Amino acid sequence: MSEVRLDEHAFLRELETIVHRAGERNVPLRAIGSVGIYYRIRHDPRAHGIYLHRHGVAHDGTPRFKDLDLASLEKHSSAIYKLFVKELGFTEDRETNALYGMFRNIYFHPHFSIDVFYDSLRFSHEIPLKNRFSPGVTLAPEDLFLGKSQIHVVTPADLADLAALLTAIPLSRMDRAYLGGLLGDDWGLWFDTRANLERVLHRLGEWIPNDRGLTEENLGVATEHVRQFLAFLEQLPKSRRWEKRAAKGTREPWFEDVDEVR
């Protein structure tokens, strides 16, 4: 499927139903990626205007989603299969699930595809998810942020997602100790996060206010929140592991290549 074939409200209701049904079985299942970010920021007018300034926005100014990305733990993969296939009637990508089932499963809702990532957000870097499933429909904002900021080759949509998230949920409302512990111990993750936030600043400087909620005020708030996060990255304590890897810099690979399916 190339995109979600439901309107915004119907799609988000389906997301809530899926998460609720999994929760009834004590299975942690949370939205991540662009959908997770949108769910978190959708009621913030300033962030909503930033989010809509991305690829995948319909002509009527409503968001359009490619698919639904979810996170869980691999030990619950069998329960998720039973829920999705046996109870909800979804189909599965058998080849992908057989080859990569420990890391990722793909299922097909009648109106969209679903990717379930297990145990970590493993893209250009790896963000462990053990004990990160607090109540709610999405992962915590810190993990939504790291899921996007860790991507080495970002798209304009990824940058808009980051800008929208930080507009609605600035660093002051995030778990700084948790973020600092990860970013201050992994130079590669820190390096790509900083680079991506600098790219966000550049994009914000290029955007022109419009009639869909992208105002000078919104751009100013987004810019200030990104700058605060960049200052945090520079000032946070770094471990010896971080310092040792920083000394090598970009002379050695610091990120993983992201395959189409992994």
Residue partners of 114: CB distance under 8 A and separation at least 6: 18, 67, 68, 69, 70, 84, 90, 106, 107, 108
* Count, residues in the chain: 262
Sign of torsion over alpha carbons 188, 153, 93, 107: positive
CA distance 197 to 35: 20
3 located within any domain: no
pLDDT of residue 57: 65
Dihedral (Cα; 238, 242, 246, 250), 10-degree rounding: -130
2 located within any domain: no
256 located within any domain: no
Are 196 and 151 contacting, i.e. CB atoms less than 8 angstroms apart?
yes
pLDDT of residue 60: 65
**Is the pLDDT higher at 260 or at 134?**
134
The angle formed by the CA atoms of residues 122, 138 and 51, to the nearest 5 degrees, is 90
pLDDT of residue 99: 81
* 176-190 b/e (C-beta count within 10 Å ≥ 16 → b): eeebbebbbbbbbbb
pLDDT of residue 58: 58
pLDDT of residue 62: 76
Query: In percent, how much of the chain has pLDDT > 70?
Result: 95
Q: What does the mean pLDDT of the chain come to?
A: 93
177 lies in which domain range?
8-251
pLDDT of residue 237: 97
Whether the predicted pLDDT of 61 surpasses 80: no
pLDDT digits (tens, 9 = 90+) for 209-242: 887 778 999 999 999 999 999 999 999 999 999 9
Supply 201's token pair: 């600043």
Question: If pLDDT is split at 50, 70 and 90, which confidence band does 261 have?
Answer: very low
Q: What is the pTM of this model?
A: 0.94
262 located within any domain: no
User: How many domains in the chain?
Assistant: 1
Sign of torsion over alpha carbons 170, 176, 182, 183: positive
pLDDT of residue 260: 47
Q: What is the mean pLDDT of residues 54-66?
A: 72
CA nearest to 5, candidates 68, 70, 50, 52: 68
Sign of torsion over alpha carbons 224, 147, 60, 9: negative
260 located within any domain: no
- What is the 8-class DSSP label of residue 173? G
Question: If pLDDT is split at 50, 70 and 90, which confidence band does 128 have?
Answer: very high
Are 37 and 143 contacting, i.e. CB atoms less than 8 angstroms apart?
no
pLDDT digits (tens, 9 = 90+) for 178-221: 999 999 999 999 999 999 999 999 999 999 888 777 899 999 99
* 116-135 b/e (C-beta count within 10 Å ≥ 16 → b): bbbbbbbbbbbbebeebbee
pLDDT of residue 262: 41
